[in-house]
Chain A
Amino acid sequence: MKRYGMAILIIALIATSAFSSGQQATQSDETGSSEQRTLRVWKFGGPQHEREYMLEKIALFEERNPGIQIEWIYQNYAERRTRVITAANAGNLPHVILTDGQSIPEFVQLGIVQPYEQFAPERVSVWRERFVEEGWDTGVVDGQTYGVSTYVDAATMIAYNTEMFEAAGIVDENGIARPPSDWAEVLEIAREFRSQGMAGIALPGSNAPNDVLTFQGIAYRNGGRWIENGQAQVDGPGFVDTLQFYQDLTEYAQSGYSETNFRQAMELFFQSQAPMAITMSYAPILRQSLGAPADFPYNIAPFPRRATDSGNFPSASFIMTPTVAHLVPADLPKEYEDAVIRYVDFWMTEEAQEGWSGSVIEGRLPILKANLASDGFARVYPDMAADYERGQLFEGALPMPGFPGLAESEQLLIDAFQSVLIGIETPDQALGRINPQIQQLYDAAR
């Protein structure tokens, strides 16, 4: 009796799987006809409520375009580069890839993606009009548009608890909490709070790529660069002094900073365990997904600069990357082009992007002009909205560094970063050690 039950179960399962693969077969039959298209879209990373928002919009898109179905596939952000490259080699890339802007140069180098100018030149100029130039450029490589996004993430920011700051008397002339004015003050405030028995600052110092990205933001602000004029520059004072600053901060930071990633740092901050935190523009998203109260008393500002910038290059106000840059594979079949254009066209509208104004998703820095001028944006980032109105928001902002060989160079930087934070090397030693290796990687990739 038991054995029969088992056999039936197995047969049923095999039948189910056969059925489901049959279903897929019918789907692909449908896509073979001229009317029906199923677009496969890979989305790498992102918080859950943002993905929910995007799925709602996609439902709207499908409703309006009955001929197009979207097959939405979520993928692990950490594996985005190898996944795309493997799929490209195996010939099973999706029709649209949503990933970060930093990956684009590497994909371009490998011939995996194609510029929009190639198959939708007239749309590109229409879309471009709607965006802030600096934001649009985060998806441009050598003058060609490979990625179009709905927002950017910007590094580096400081989040500070306004209540604590006011209580400690760190205020402007109107008695309102203000961000620290330079590195020295950041250290001083951290020391002050530390002496009261709490973490002086929530410092993300894990081996997660995002943590070293926040570090890079400060380094760029200090006039540091990865590569300039074909020469690796991470052993210059821009990076070295910033890393030294981080190391100085660790003394007053939370214990276990080398296992605390950007999310956990904000977890501490939003539970009032630290008066300030090093973070990126996505801090408000973390407030949302961590479930902290909407009226949590805090503010975000660009991270303070060193009293005098020490790097060899101009200070970058911040560095930005689009993390839902829509990329289109180079081997996209001709018959899918129209559907892809319609799909991307949909996302380039104010209607599709409205949620990123701060009305649904807080903490993505919009690059659509309409969103930047919206009330939601003014509510989430009052200071930045004012800057935008004055036309200064994106002044001196750069795209996040992206170049062939980045993935491994980034790993080297993480290595140096952690090595210094846990006290094995000095910033000079660590960055001096990796600089020639980065140069080598860069040269090899060219």
Chain B
Amino acid sequence: MARNAVSTFEHAQRRLSVWFVMPGFLMIFIVMGGVAIYSFDLSFRNLELLRGFSSDYVGFETYRTVLSRRETIPVIGNTLYWVSMSTILVIVLGISVGYLVSDSTNRVTRISRAVMLVPWVLPGVVVAGLWKWMYNGQNGLINKILLDIGVIEQGFPFLARPETVLPSVVLVIVWRLFPIYALVVASSIQSIEISLFEAAKMDGISPWQEFRFIILPSIKYQVLTMGVTVLIWITNNLVLVNVMTGGGPLYFSKTLPVFMYELGFRYGKLSEAAVVTVFNLIILLALSVVYLAVYRRNQRGDI
């Protein structure tokens, strides 16, 4: 009797599942698919606001125009630098700091954990504005500190120099993202079975061995998947660079999203912006392959 009820129930539940999945899925699939296709379509046209909303198909002409811009190649280079450096730094710092603050008995680490979400919670515009100000060569806080401790004798304009501008904005997104990453790592470390540590202690292993052979393997999945989430956030970030430098000086800090924004919203060259969007999508698609691979391993063939 009971078994029968359960099987009827399961049957009904299966139907319910389908009804549950459909609305959300269809919405995502249709809208995002449609928009993605539309942006491909747009990239083969010559839509420019300065000529109104009418446009013609011009094949790869717009691609040629974009590629012939002298900043395009440097911008792609900047984007790769920005994405890889930021992600690596966030993950490395995140793991170390996560390990550091995973100890709940230390009061300082507890206080640290309490404030660690704030950089991520602050609106991006504020973070960007704040750091732009702090980096300023004339009245910036960083220069004040460096001057006070005698590292430099004259204010250094971090965002004005081609060689320092990109590393400087990378540090800002790292500052914004490594704390939340570290919190997830810390939380994962805390959920490791305590018996593992106790056994290890009896074997008398060093802290480094403990970290390398017990902690890292246990938090591998969280590190990877959260890492990919961070990677997406970084790749999609427009606000930080746009507000801090506008891509300058010249194009030395311009990334693909900034380039796209500038082409589309400043100059109204929507088709050229769509081409840049396509470049960005290609990078993102390459990343999705990585993402899917991570999840396949993670889920052991669940997908």
Contacts and interface: CB of A to CB of B under 8 A. Distances in A.
A264 interface: yes
A422 B157 contact: no
A62 B248 CA distance: 44
A437 to B, nearest CB: 10
B159 A259 contact: yes
Contacts of B139: 267
Interface in B219-247: 245-247
B138 A89 contact: no
A327 B162 CA distance: 40
Contacts of A234: none
B119 interface: no
Contacts of A258: 157, 160-161, 248-249
B250 to A, nearest CB: 5
Contacts of B246: 207
Interface string A365-379: 000000000000000
Interface centre among A82, A267, A421 (most CB of B within 10 A): A82
B265 interface: yes
Interface stretch (B7-15, B32-40, B49-57, B88-96): B49-57
Contacts of B138: 254, 256, 260, 264, 267-268, 273
B77 interface: no
Interface of A: 78-79, 81-82, 85-86, 89, 106, 110, 206-207, 254-260, 264, 267-268, 273, 404-405, 407-408, 411, 415, 418-419, 421-422, 424, 445
28 contacts: A79-B266, A82-B49, A82-B266, A82-B268, A86-B268, A89-B49, A89-B52, A89-B53, A110-B50, A255-B155, A255-B157, A256-B161, A258-B157, A259-B159, A259-B160, A259-B248, A259-B249, A260-B138, A268-B138, A405-B50, A407-B266, A408-B267, A408-B269, A411-B267, A418-B248, A422-B162, A424-B162, A445-B50
B168 to A, nearest CB: 11
Nearest to B251: A415
Nearest to A421: B249
B160 A256 contact: yes
A91 to B, nearest CB: 11
Contacts of A86: 49, 268
B167 interface: no
Contacts of B49: 82, 85-86, 89
Interface in B241-279: 245-251, 265-269
B268 A81 contact: yes
A421 B250 CA distance: 10
B131 interface: no
Given A415-B251, A421-B249, 12 more contacts: A85-B50, A110-B52, A207-B246, A207-B249, A255-B154, A255-B160, A256-B137, A256-B156, A256-B157, A259-B159, A405-B50, A418-B248
Contacts, number: 91
A422 B154 contact: no
Interface of B: 49-53, 71, 136-139, 154-157, 159-162, 245-251, 265-269
Nearest to B159: A259
A418 B51 CA distance: 29
Contacts of B155: 255-256
A106 B136 CA distance: 36
Given A78-B266, A407-B266, A419-B250, A256 B162 contact: no
Contacts of A415: 71, 250-251
Q: Which 4 A-B pairs have the closest CB atoms?
A: A256-B157, A256-B137, A259-B160, A256-B160
Given A85-B268, A259-B159, A418 B50 contact: no
B144 to A, nearest CB: 14
A255 B249 contact: no
Contacts of B161: 256, 258, 422
A411 B268 CA distance: 13
A207 B155 CA distance: 21
A420 to B, nearest CB: 10
A236 B86 CA distance: 44
B263 to A, nearest CB: 10
Given A258-B160, A259-B157, A82 B249 contact: no
A322 B162 CA distance: 35
B116 to A, nearest CB: 27
A207 B50 contact: no
Contacts of B50: 85, 106, 110, 404-405, 407, 445
A254 B251 CA distance: 22
A110 B54 CA distance: 13
